[in-house]
Amino acid sequence: MKIVAADVIVSSPDRNFVTLKITTDDGVTGLGDGTLNGRELSVVSYLRDHVVPLLIGRDPHRIEDTWQFLYRSAYWRRGPVTMAAIAAVDVALWDIKAKAAGMPLYQLLGGASRTGIMAYGHASGRDLPELFDSIRTHLALGYRSIRVQTSVPGINAVYGVAAQPNADGRRYDYEPAQRTPLPAEEDWDTRAYLRHLPGVFEAVRNEFGPELPLLHDGHHRMTPIQAARLGKALEPYDLFWLEDCTPAENQEALRLVRQHTTTPLAIGEVFNTVWDYQTLIREQLIDYVRSAVTHTGGITAMRKLLDFAAQYQIKSGIHGPTDISPVGMAAALHLDLAIHNFGIQEYMPHGRLTNEVFRQSFTFADGYLHPGDQPGIGVELDEQAAARFPYVAAYLPFNRLKDGTVHDW
Ligand code: EZ4
Ligand code: CO
């Protein structure tokens, strides 16, 4: 088999997605996701200008060799753009291999280790009644694990809270990169957040009881000592995890957090290689790996990362926001089903237009996802539908403190 074409398709149904479609001389096609929210066109150029010419004529079955070739021959290693581009190629090649084998991808990864993939949904509210309603809605939809985000008195717009005064009222209006010429400015006050959050979790536990797994995303906003304090304050409410409590480029900083709290920690949605986790995993400073297949070099790299984590009893918590396309999501689900150290999968259902462009075989029922049993990863791209939604520039928001200082968003 030979690769005869590789096309980069940019489409913006609800939001921007970068999809790589690889075609072989046998007419088999594979899809990969290279979407990097707010910086999409840099991956498009990396693929079109620098990677596609290298793929033509290669044997699509040589996935490991292609991964190593793309990683090492660039000389310039790592980084979100490079690793998203490599991920797009890697997933497209796994899709082709699985289609050629006539099997769903999870079978090639060792077969199913479980019957379904526990997913968590995103509940949020501007106040407690709205938050409780949102949790009840998610329970009614079947979710058995729920992420809780809340507004904070004194802060105008907080990450993760839907339909705030400055948002547009859509379901995930707190999250997509906004189609504005400049990044939207939001505000932040860590002391106000630390004062408010434990009371919210106390109220949620009182209302919904001790069993429901609850998660929370700190979105990189605390210092290590602040994160330690929050983890400790949340211990009575038995969180499934506290996510991204600090900006974790400084892996050693997590030692301090870990010494102070038994609240489980999840980190890594902005990471892109196993090297970003070396200290975190080896010193058992985290409990869940948050990388996305789309941002961390694809199935090939994620499998190695999660096998490394498994040796330290660290589990998967693969990133699954709506800025991962259905292609990236499907790839994650095959991995989730196959690995032994699965933890939980984030799930934000895509909008109607996205589902018109990407036809998917994966299912969600009774709180569990399943990738389906179609050969390959189980996603088809409707290119005519995709062409109806051209690229629209969009930016993620950013934060300023009260005195104007830029802060992590
Ligand atoms: O803000 O993917 O846990 N999920 C998250 C996401 C990220 C977005 C950024 O593009 O933190 O919602
Ligand atoms: Co997050």
pTM, full prediction:
0.97
Q: Which of 60-64, 175-179, 394-398 has the lowest mean pLDDT?
A: 175-179
> For the chain, which residues make up each domain, given as ranges?
3-104, 109-374
Say which ligand is closest to the CA of 348.
1
Q: 344 pairs with which residues across the strands? A: 317
* pLDDT band per the 50, 70, 90 thresholds, residue 177: confident
Pocket test for ligand 1, best of 269, 322, 409 (most atoms within 8 A of CB): 269
pLDDT at 172: 79
Other CB atoms closer than 10 Å to residue 10's CB: what's the count?
19
pLDDT tens-digit series, residues 84-105: 999 999 999 999 999 999 999 9
Tell me which residue of 10, 7, 11, 26 sits closest to 96, measured CA to CA: 26
Q: Look at residue 165 and tell me whether its pLDDT is greater than 90.
A: no
Ligand 2 centre and the CA of 133: distance in Å?
A: 22
In CATH, which of 3.30.1490.20, 3.40.50.300, 3.40.190.10, 3.20.20.120 is domain 109-374? 3.20.20.120
Contacts of 346 (CB under 8 A, 6+ apart): 119, 120, 147, 317, 318, 319, 320, 321
Q: Is 269 in the pocket of ligand 1 (CB under 6 A)?
A: yes
pLDDT tens-digit series, residues 188-220: 999 999 999 999 999 999 999 999 999 999 999
3-104: CATH number: 3.30.390.10
- Check 71, 106, 120, 159 and give the catalytic one: 159
Q: Is 37 in the pocket of ligand 1 (CB under 6 A)?
A: yes
Q: Is 80 in the pocket of ligand 1 (CB under 6 A)?
A: no
Nearest CA, atom 2, ligand 1: 321
Counting every residue, how long is the chain?
409
- Section 277-302 average pLDDT: 98
pLDDT tens-digit series, residues 300-313: 999 999 999 999 99
Atom number, ligand 1, closest to the C-alpha of residue 244: 11
Asked whether this chain's domains 3-104 and 109-374 adopt the same fold, the reply is: no
Say which ligand is closest to the CA of 324.
1
Q: Is 219 a catalytic residue?
A: yes
Q: Is 260 a catalytic residue?
A: no
- Check 122, 138, 216, 219 and give the catalytic one: 219
pLDDT tens-digit series, residues 332-352: 999 999 999 999 999 999 999
Q: 56 pairs with which residues across the strands? A: none
Q: Is 40 in the pocket of ligand 1 (CB under 6 A)?
A: no
Q: Look at residue 123 and tell me whether its pLDDT is greater than 80.
A: yes
* pLDDT band per the 50, 70, 90 thresholds, residue 259: very high
Atom number, ligand 1, closest to the C-alpha of residue 147: 3
pLDDT tens-digit series, residues 273-284: 999 999 999 999
Ligand 1 centre and the CA of 113: distance in Å?
A: 27
Q: Is 247 in the pocket of ligand 1 (CB under 6 A)?
A: no
Q: Look at residue 164 and tell me whether its pLDDT is greater than 80.
A: no
- Section 230-250 average pLDDT: 97
Nearest CA, atom 11, ligand 1: 219
pLDDT at 179: 87
pLDDT tens-digit series, residues 27-77: 999 999 999 999 999 999 999 999 999 999 999 999 999 999 999 999 999
